[in-house]
Chains A and B, each alone.
Chain A
Amino acid sequence: MRYIPNSPEERQEMLRGLGLGSPEELFDSIPADIILREPLRTPAALSESELLEAFEAMAAKNTAARRPNFIGAGAYTHYAPTIVDSLIQRSEFFTAYTPYQPEISQGTLQAIFEFQTLVCQLTGMDVANASMYDGSTAMAEAVLMAERVTRRSRVLVSGAVHPEYMQVAETYVAHAGIELQRLDCDEETGRTTLDAGALDKSVAAVVVQSPNFFGCVEGLKTFADKVHAAGALLVVVVTESASFGLLRSPGACGADIVVAEGQSFGVPVSFGGPYVGLFATREQYARQIPGRLAGIAYDKEGRRGFVLTLATREQHIRREKATSNICTNEGLIALAATIYMTTMGRAGLQEVAAQCAQKAAYARKQIAALEGFSLPHSAPVFNEFVVRAPVEAKGLLRKLADEHNVTGGLALSRYFPDRPNDFLVCVTETNKRADVDALVSGLKQVQSSRLKVQS
């Protein structure tokens, strides 16, 4: 095996040096009746070229990867400058462990500190951690943290939160004594409704996503006022981090905890992962935050460095009393996001957001003008919006893919069986005008050929 430096002959010599006759004797402490006598029934070894061929052949079956795509819904196609992937492939970053020995891990630690700062700047919060697995688990951890902070056990979650995020939260709280209660969505505006009556002294937090799953930007300030009046925390979820470049930050709107999916920052959609969860909160809750934190420290000569800090919150010290069980997080993806944010910078993050919003507005206008199609929600959007088709959306999108080679959006029936004709369209800066026009003309043709068949 070419990844093992010691040759079989060298290994024989090493065995002899230990007084052993065969490699089997290395495993003498394992009882004989559980030693595997047969070779594993997995395939024989492939050479490098055979391996690449095998994976290329499987990749070729992913036909959706080659089409212009208008699905967002928690994973967004954005342009990533070449240097993002190039820099994260430096051995020093991708083959390093969690920075337990700060003297020889300063590169990773400084990058985490920069990541934490950038997350604070974009979210408008005071403290951010070194990352969570993804947006969905970050939201679940925010729910658990809200319970710890408030010692209250009910959490109201907007019905316009990503349905998979909601499912993850349900799993996480199943044994935590927390009751999740869903807030309705106004069908006309597409925004979450929060009746003052729903808020009482048992509510730990209200969780709202903005832009929400249906693309609508929520009025976060109004929420914050109501939630704080009841002594609860406002948790804001963001799945499309590109929106930070244009939308008022959750912190400026009064959020207490902000969680986000950071995949939009230079990370490929890669069939759902690895992504990176952003987690930020207010200063006074820093010691309740889950996961790792990097902070400044000095050596005896007064030189500035960085260390993992406030570790007494964490599982390796506190064990079952820790703020979370998380250990390994998403270091390299957080680094990719850091390099992306730094490269795009102050101007680029705003320009990407503006282009997303402009192109989505263009697509909205074109689609709304199509006969039979409508936009059911009236609230302002960022780069994603619901379209109501005159026919069942899943079949429409299938035909659009097969006949017009475009993935036109996500049929909402995947999560909402009572919305068969609705689909969610996402437009980013990577979608050219020609792609949008192809989507619009495709929708028009599929619809008109359907009408012809009917008549």
Chain B
Amino acid sequence: MALKATPHITQNEALVFERSQTGRRGYRLPALDVEETPLDELLPAELRRDDDLEGVPELSEPDVVRHFTRISTWNYNIDLGLYPLGSCTMKYNSRLNERVARIPGFANLHPLAPEEDAQGALEVMYKLQQHLSEITGLAGVSLQPAAGAHGEMTGVMMIRAFLDARDGARVEGKPSRNVMLIPDSAHGTNPASAHLSGFTVKTIRSTPEGLTDLGHLRELCASGDVAGLMLTNPNTCGIFERNIREICRIIHDAGGLVYMDGANMNALVGVARPGDMGADVIHLNLHKTFSTPHGGGGPGSGPCCCTSELEPFLPVPRITKEGEQFRLDLDRPQSIGRVKAFYGNFGMHLRALAYTLTHGNDGLREATEAAVLNARFIAHGLADTFDKPFDSPPMHEVLFTDKRQTRKGVHTLDIAKRLIDYGFHPMTIYFPLIVQGAMLIEPTESVGRAELQQFVDAMKEIAREAVEDPDKVLNAPHTTRIGRLDEATAARKPVLRWKPAEKSATA
């Protein structure tokens, strides 16, 4: 007889829909305390649902708690250990900040409450704006964008609006300057955001040193149609663009503006400021540099900071202070408009302000130093084992490739999967795109020396295995509840939702 028992039930948790049992309940509401109006008087039947929410699960409260607790244990997380995703800045998410965000005076505050009754919330946003302005060296700040890419879109739309205001009418219905320059090493959101803002994207080559090619930049600028440049600094190879002043000068001389992608600000806070480098507008990722939790894919927050010249173009409403009163200011005729309902991801603003206040000005710099030091420690530890495509000393993240391991057929993906068996989350892989077999490692400041050494040791061990026992690496991971998943079939025949068995059979 076949075994009927399910082995390892916590590892084989079904979907909530499969767990559902008719009649189970996980909630209780207070009894209705008003006279009931017959439904037909409230709403005619044709406006009401008639499917009784078929398929929506029915579970008790312990069922729900067990379900989500079980599936949660299948996730790696920062609290468990090093999460060295390059350009993602997976640093410690303080519990204190979670507590701050849940203070009832903030959590229960309606966004459309009269501003005189919401002064504390406006004060939080105003103070955070001041801190971000000081950190970036840029005068204007809007906290409205909900994530990094949203901040990029906001920033490049501001560039568009600024140029239109400066250069006047469009030529044949098109803006005269329509080209946004983006390095080939950039994050994919950069060209996508530029496109959404109506720009044509032209790609700048990188030099063999992993820096922006100044010659190519000058050549592209000579065409006269350059609206701006989107540049990440330190760039996605983890290297500081040491010619940044010159790069900004070339763009400015060509009549364009410089957008800096602030994804890598964890290398710079308290040490150098984008405004001093010549950047005109930048977004910050509060969910990276300012430690608001990443939540398995958001919520983020992508404030936009800009020069005083660009400030009139920031999204509305702006937060202003008149005397001791904070106000929402909508009267900004040159503004690009609103990019989100209400004022941004306020819960993330609270956490970010708690971050800057907990660190203090000296602690902010200390975190930057510790983050860069940790990246250097890894760079040093792995230099003899893995190919490092660029010589420059890395900032807060370090780039290696799989070049030395490919001889035995082991590639970056395999190394990443094998790292899981050693108890680490893999690094960012195959990014930046310009480096074949890229492995981008960002330890952040939130990890101690011993664990860094364990990571270095694990990477060296994998390198040894790649030579002596490549199959072990090629078939990794060996210790997870499931193996590598067939993503190609998943994309070819997508199943994107659960359906009851009898329906899926006919679908």
Q: Which B residue's beta carbon lies closest to that of A414?
A: B112
Q: Is the CB of A101 within 8 A of B426?
A: yes
Please state if B297 and A99 are interface contacts (CB–CB under 8 Å): yes
- Structural contact, B392 and A29, CB atoms closer than 8 A: yes
**In the complex, A295 Cα to B342 Cα: how many Å?**
32
* Chain B residues within an 8 Å CB radius of A271: 106, 109-111, 118, 121, 342-343, 346
Q: Are A18 and B354 in contact (CB under 8 A)?
A: no
Q: Are A343 and B26 in contact (CB under 8 A)?
A: yes
A272 contacts across to B, CB distance below 8 A: 111, 341-344, 346
Contact: B147 with A328, CB < 8 Å? yes
Contact of A45 among B101, B340, B360 (CB under 8 A): B360
Given contacts A61-B119, A102-B485, A270-B346, contact A31 B498 (CB under 8 A): no
List the B residue with the shortest CB-CB distance to A104.
B76
- When the two chains form their complex, are residues B29 and A429 in contact, meaning their CB atoms are under 8 A apart? yes
Contact call B119/A29, Cβ cutoff below 8 A: no
Closest residue of A by beta carbon distance from B394:
A29
Complex contact A270–B109 (CB within 8 A): yes
Judge if A390 is at the interface, Cβ distance under 8 Å: no
B residues in contact with A436, CB < 8 Å? 34
Query: Can you name the residue of chain A whose Cβ is closest to the Cβ of B55?
Result: A121
Which residues between 127 and 177 of chain A lie within 8 Å of chain B, taking CB atoms?
127-128, 130-131, 133-137, 162, 164-165, 167-168, 170-172, 174-176
Query: What does the 1/0 interface line of B344-357 toward A look like (CB < 8 Å)?
Result: 11111010001011
- Interfacial chain B residues near A175, Cβ < 8 Å: 157, 160, 196-199
A51-B96, A348-B27 known; A26-B272 Cβ under 8 A: no
Chain A interface size, as a band, is: 35 or more
**Is B489 in contact with A77, judged by CB distance below 8 angstroms?**
no
- CB within 8 A of A11: which of B192, B341, B370? B370
Q: How far is the CB of B145 from chain A (nearest CB, A)?
A: 9
Residue of B nearest to A76 (CB): B110
- Give the docked Cα–Cα distance between A26 and B494 (Å): 48
Q: In angstroms, how far is the closest chain A Cβ from the Cβ of B104?
A: 6
Tell whether A451 is near chain B: CB-to-CB under 8 Å: no
Smallest distance from the beta carbon of B319 to chain A beta carbons, Å? 12
Q: Is the CB of A113 within 8 A of B74?
A: no
Q: Across the interface, do B33 and A432 meet the contact criterion of CB distance under 8 Å?
A: yes
Q: Among the listed stretches A63-71, A192-200, A227-235, A367-375, which one makes contact with chain B, having 4 or more residues with CB under 8 Å of it?
A: A63-71
Closest to B198 in A: A175
> In the complex the two chains form, is A55's CB within 8 Å of B113's CB?
no
Tell me the dominant secondary structure on chain B's binding face.
Answer: loop
**Given contacts A97-B83, A299-B482, A339-B68, A40 and B135 within 8 Å (CB-CB):** yes
Q: How far is the CB of B391 from the nearest CB of chain A, in Å?
A: 11
Of A54, A300, A380, which is within 8 A of B483 by CB? A300
| Cα–Cα, bound, A308→B224 (Å) | 41
> In this assembly, does B249 line the interface, its C-beta being within 8 Å of a C-beta of chain A?
no
A42 interface residue, CB < 8 Å from B? yes
A48-99 interface (Cβ within 8 A of B):
48, 51-52, 54-67, 69, 71, 73-75, 77, 79, 81, 83, 85, 87-99
Asked if A207 is an interface residue, CB under 8 A from chain B, the answer is: no
Instruction: Let me know if A118 is at the binding interface, CB within 8 A.
Output: yes
- Check if B364 is an interface residue, CB within 8 A of chain A: yes
The one of A59, A244, A286, A329 that contacts B298, using a Cβ cutoff of 8 Å? A329
Bound complex: CA A98 to CA B287 (Å)? 12
**How far apart sit A92 and B88, CA to CA, in the bound complex (Å)?**
17
* A352 / chain B contacts, CB cutoff of 8 Å: 29
Q: Which of the candidate stretches B41-49, B215-223, B252-260, B399-407 sits at the interface with the other chain?
A: B41-49
Query: B169 at interface (Cβ–Cβ under 8 A)?
Result: no
A21 interface residue, CB < 8 Å from B? no
**B490 in complex: contacting residue of A307, A357, A358, CB < 8 Å:** A307
User: B502 at interface (Cβ–Cβ under 8 A)?
Assistant: no
Q: Which residues between 326 and 351 of chain A lie within 8 Å of chain B, taking CB atoms? A: 326-333, 335, 339, 341-351
Neighbouring B residues of A64 by C-beta, 8 Å:
109-110, 113-114, 117-118
B382 contacts the other chain (Cβ, under 8 Å)?
no
Those of B176-212 within 8 Å (CB) of chain A: 187-189, 191-199, 201
- Please determine whether B134 and A42 come into contact, CB atoms closer than 8 angstroms: yes
A332 lies within 8 A of B299 (CB): yes
A27 in complex: contacting residue of B75, B83, B119, B271, CB < 8 Å: B271
Question: A325 to B377, alpha carbons, bound, how many Å?
Answer: 34
Q: Which of A389-407 contact B (CB under 8 A)?
A: 397-398, 401, 407
B370/A4 in contact, CB under 8 A: yes
CA distance A131 to B480 in the complex (A): 27
**Contact, CB under 8 Å: B339 / A171:** yes
- Evaluate contact between A270 and B106: CB separation under 8 angstroms: yes
The answer to the question of A453 belonging to the interface, with a C-beta cut-off of 8 Å to chain B, is no
Alpha-carbon distance A113/B346, docked complex (angstroms): 27
Contact indicator A4/B293 (Cβ below 8 Å): no
With both beta carbons as reference points, the residue of chain A lying nearest to B429 in the complex is identified as: A100
Q: Are A297 and B490 in contact (CB under 8 A)?
A: yes
Q: Are A330 and B299 in contact (CB under 8 A)?
A: yes
Cβ of B299 and Cβ of A331 under 8 Å apart?
yes
Query: Which of chain B's residues 97-145 have a Cβ closer than 8 Å to chain A?
Result: 98-114, 117-121, 123-124, 130-131, 134-135
Residues of B within 8 A of A3 (CB): 91-92, 94, 358-359, 367, 445-446
B393 to chain A, nearest CB (A): 6
Closest A residue to B62 by beta carbon equals A83
Does the CB pair A83–B64 fall under 8 Å?
yes
| Beta-carbon contact of B276 and A335 below 8 Å | no
Contact yes or no, B498 A113, CB < 8 A: yes
Is the CB of B4 closer than 8 A to any CB of chain A? no
Does residue B380 face the partner (Cβ distance < 8 Å to A)? Answer: yes
Residue of B192, B341, B354, B393 near A134 (CB, 8 A) is B341
Q: Is A441 an interface residue (CB 8 A)?
A: no
Q: Closest CB of chain B to A131's CB: distance in Å?
A: 7
Closest to A1 in B: B363
In the complex where A30-B242, A343-B27, A358-B37 touch, is A95 in contact with B337 (Cβ < 8 A)?
no
Could you say which residues of chain B place their CB within 8 Å of the CB of A333?
295, 298-299
Interface residue? B72 (CB, 8 A)? yes
User: Please, which residues of chain B bring their CB within 8 A of the CB of A342?
Assistant: 16, 26, 57, 59, 64, 67
- Supply 23 A–B pairs (Cβ within 8 Å), ascending by A: A4-B367, A4-B446, A5-B448, A6-B373, A46-B357, A66-B105, A66-B108, A87-B68, A92-B73, A93-B68, A95-B78, A105-B75, A110-B71, A114-B15, A252-B49, A270-B347, A273-B299, A295-B494, A325-B193, A327-B149, A361-B41, A407-B117, A436-B34
Q: Considering the complex of A and B, which 7 residue pairs feature the smallest CB-CB distances, nearest first?
A: A59-B105, A45-B360, A175-B198, A272-B342, A332-B295, A331-B297, A272-B111
Known pairs A40-B134, A110-B15, A305-B485 / 11 extra A-B pairs, C-beta < 8 Å: A5-B448, A18-B376, A52-B100, A96-B77, A102-B485, A104-B480, A122-B53, A271-B342, A309-B490, A310-B491, A333-B295
